[in-house]
């Protein structure tokens, strides 16, 4: 069965960087784009960008350009999202989500369980 | 970017009642690229509806999506206790992908 596994929680200091991982299993990792979505405490969902695990191509939301880097390691079927120059308002749960597109629709069909990142001095 | 506005922010209902949730887009969105998710506390969102009106696998038929253009609706015909949650609409028509602010369905 399809699974996206993310690990635990992290605490980071302002100005530091974070790197969240998303281990995929149960499907062909390179066959589906992976997206990242975050959710600040008590707030809604915010799209951050995607990575094509096959080519490594990425597309980032304008808000995060210059601070976010999405990568993947196909040998371990894992996607990574790195966010630099952290601020307190980056405190959020970070989710990976697989996008499924079957003409003509697209949607996020599987989500990781999320990684809580707290930015605090 | 395509802004999605959900209303109401909170819906207070009882089990067995009907819930009607609205998602309005600032510009037209192809219905094929509109999805709805349910999120419970501490959990990741779960896909309910894709293509505006297609139920995802395993979603009960009391959930119905409808709409086109700029107005979309999620209807829950008879609320079950497990349906009390937050619901988000999302558009995939263009980047950046955007979500509505959510509607909380509470008892």
Per DSSP, helices labelled H in A37-117 are: none
Peptide bond preceding B96: is omega within 30 degrees of 0, i.e. cis?
Answer: yes
Residue A103 has pLDDT above 90, yes or no: no
What confidence score (pLDDT) does residue A104 get? Answer: 79
Q: Are A108 and B90 a contacting pair at CB < 8 A? A: yes
Residue B66 has pLDDT above 90, yes or no: yes
**Does B13 contact chain A (CB < 8 Å)?**
no
* Percent residues over pLDDT 70 in chain A: 100
Q: For residue A5, what are the β-bridge partners?
A: A23
Mean pLDDT for chain A? 96
What confidence score (pLDDT) does residue A102 get? Answer: 83
Q: Are A62 and B96 a contacting pair at CB < 8 A? A: yes
Q: For residue B23, what are the β-bridge partners?
A: B6, B72
**Does B65 contact chain A (CB < 8 Å)?**
no
What confidence score (pLDDT) does residue A7 get? Answer: 86
Residue B19 has pLDDT above 90, yes or no: yes
Burial class (CB in 10 A: 0-12, 13-18, 19+), B99: buried
Q: Provide the pLDDT confidence category of residue A105 given band limits of 50, 70 and 90.
A: confident
What confidence score (pLDDT) does residue A99 get? Answer: 96
DSSP state of A53: T
């Amino acid at each position: 069965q399809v699974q996206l596994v993310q690990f635990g929680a992290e605490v980071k200091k302002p100005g530091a960087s974070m790197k969240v991982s998303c281990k995929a299993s149960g499907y062909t990792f390179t066959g589906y784009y992976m997206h990242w979505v975050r959710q600040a405490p008590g707030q809604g969902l915010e799209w951050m960008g995607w990575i094509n695990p096959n080519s490594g191509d990425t597309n980032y939301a304008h808000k995060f350009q210059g601070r976010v880097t999405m990568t993947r390691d196909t040998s371990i079927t894992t996607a990574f999202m790195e966010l630099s120059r952290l601020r307190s308002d980056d405190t959020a749960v970070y989710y990976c989500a697989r996008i499924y597109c079957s003409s003509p629709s697209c949607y996020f069909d599987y989500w990781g369980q999320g990684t809580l990142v707290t930015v605090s001095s | 970017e395509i802004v999605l506005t959900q209303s109401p922010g909170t819906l207070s209902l009882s089990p067995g009642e009907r819930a009607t949730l609205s998602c309005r887009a600032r510009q037209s969105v192809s219905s094929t690229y509109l999805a709805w998710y349910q999120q419970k506390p501490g959990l990741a969102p779960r896909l309910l509806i894709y293509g505006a009106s297609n139920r995802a696998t395993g979603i009960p038929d009391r959930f119905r999506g409808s709409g086109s253009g700029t107005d979309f609706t999620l209807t829950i015909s008879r609320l079950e206790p497990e349906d009390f949650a937050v619901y988000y609409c999302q558009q995939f028509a263009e980047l950046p992908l955007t979500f509505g602010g959510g509607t909380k369905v509470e008892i």
